[in-house]
Amino acid sequence: MSDSEKTVVETIAETESYIAWKSSEPDGEDVYHLELNNVTLHFFIEEWQEFMDLMQNVMKKTA
């Protein structure tokens, strides 16, 4: 497998129980991942952006 075919993984943020990370796939697609204890959610960029919008709205309502 050449370097251009490898998935690049980057940690975005993490706590003791949770982690958010991004993988840059060999096909050029970025995938975002949330690991919440024993549940992992996977988001393509459009889904991630919508999820981030949702979380910003949640933060506004709960602040």
20-55 pLDDT, tens digit each: 999 999 999 999 999 999 999 999 999 999 999 999
What does the pLDDT read at residue 5? 82
- For the chain, domain boundaries: 3-62
Read off φ and ψ for residue 41, nearest 5 degrees.
-110, 140
What does the pLDDT read at residue 3? 62
| CA triple 5-49-9, angle to 5 deg | 30
> Where in 1-63 does DSSP place strands (E)?
8-14, 18-24, 30-36, 39-44
What does the pLDDT read at residue 44? 97
